[in-house]
Structure 1
Amino acid sequence: MENRLKHGEALFAEGKIGEAKKIFDDLLKENPENHELLNNLGVISCSQNNVQEAEDYFLRAISAKKDYFNVLLNLSKLYQNTERWEQAANQLEKCISIADQNTDIFNQLGKVYLKIGDTEKAKVTLRKSLELNPDQEIVRESLSALEGDVGAPGKAVEKSPNDQELRELLNNARLQQSPRTKITVLCLPGLQSFLGDIVDFFKTKYDVRTCYSKNNQEIESAVQWADIVWLEWANEMAIHVTNNVPSVSEKQVICRIHSYEVLNGYLPRIQWSKISKTVFVADHVLKIALEL
């Protein structure tokens, strides 16, 4: 089963959703209580905007394994996307009981508490996030605003990944363009499920276009329109854009790299001279890339 499960996950990562779903469905018939299969099918249902089916899969996965972090987080995201804030808070609280050093979870929970209208809980949660990582200016500014400290020094630069060079790159691009920097977010279909927070933030500062497509014309049009190109995965999309889309040479290009792309040999096929900034999602991913 393990090999078939990994094969299905690899197909999903490549955007072959139908093939991946068939493998997971077949495996689930043999293993109806397998939490990983149920979670994977829930993610696929989310990507297809089938909210009720996704929720059912996630709840079944939790019944099979109550402390499965990934499914708790996925269910919380589903509830946030459907504005079911109380239920989202409940799942995020469970996530924190498992991963109590994860600032992203604390920040999500703080946002959800604000949506509910529980300012006190939001303040406590954001304070905890800052205790874990004081270098979060946007969180500090949010907390200052909640506490009424309108004269607090400093100003958050951006709520982008915690990378100073990346924040400077975004700022410089914004200063050089008028009136608003245009950002295109490129991602193969089926892999965009968890891009919501990044895209929502960008929309507060920039003009944003998303392109979750394999259509070459759509991809080229999106790149041509943009000042900044955000490649969420260093996979076939990054390979195609850096090798086959001439206008990308005139853009600032940010590429995020996950372990999947490193381990599957995508990186050597990317034209890195076209990439302005790389962002490894974790230190261990960078280490793996350097060792290969």
Structure 2
Amino acid sequence: MSDFPELPQLTELITQGRFSEAKQIAEKLPDIVQQENAFGMIYYYEGKLDDAVEHFKKALEIDPINSDVLFNYGKALFDKKDYKEAWRYLLRIHNKDWAVYDLLGDTQLVQGNIPMALYYYRKAAEISPLEEMKKKYLEYKKQYHQDVNIAILCLPGLDNFIHDIADILGEVYNVRLVVSANGNEIVQAYEWADIVWLEWANELAVEVTNKLEKKGKKIVCRLHPGKLIENQFLYRINWSKIDKIIIGCERLKDNLAVYHPSVFYHIREKYWIANYGVLLAGTFFCISDR
């Protein structure tokens, strides 16, 4: 609707609850996407969420990357408590402003995904001119902080997939990302941690699980699909010290069972299939049973 010259009038009618008059103007819109978006907004403010959603969907069928429609659709889905779909469509907005990040945070907060919610609220607070947004972020960050130390250990050159996760988890926990082959650095981080995250099932995981005492720590290891079939480090890792094995999809589990059956036997009750959002959800799976 941003290119429609009578947008201020239409918006004023909607906010005043003069829906019949707003519909008359919306019907005259020459652009079908603008028209469907306008009707979606009218029905949204009328409290007719199902009708609003249908109109936003029709607009997106024609223009699937329209930022205004994507936001409106995401907000309507959120109000319908379809939080996952709201999140998915909001992510498609190319140039996200603070309001988009704020709503993204809301979709995660209501699902208990606190680290991700705080990450989005921080993004919103960084670009919002409103002090209320900054206050919201800081208050939630204070409320949900847990004094739990997580050391993420990774060898150099293998850290492509972990920086964002470390950043997001750092919104709630005390996180150290150690990308190093230096034994002293690794041991220091290990000693400091309550939870140790081994980013790959490789030689570092072999060293940590065989040479360092567990000392009551939670230890997790993430398996990546790259070169999994020929990975011989799997047979040298002490799986008895690892509490959870993170895998990204069911097929990875199946490949383990087929190509490394003896390893799969040891981890069959420990693996956890987690996509990116699930991985960060709630209070983090290995903390929840502390």
TM-score bucket of the superposed structures, by smaller chain: 0.3 to 0.5
Structure 1 length as normaliser, TM-score?
A: 0.43
**Larger Cα-atom Rg:** 2
Structure 2 length as normaliser, TM-score?
A: 0.44
Q: Which structure carries more helix by proportion?
A: 1
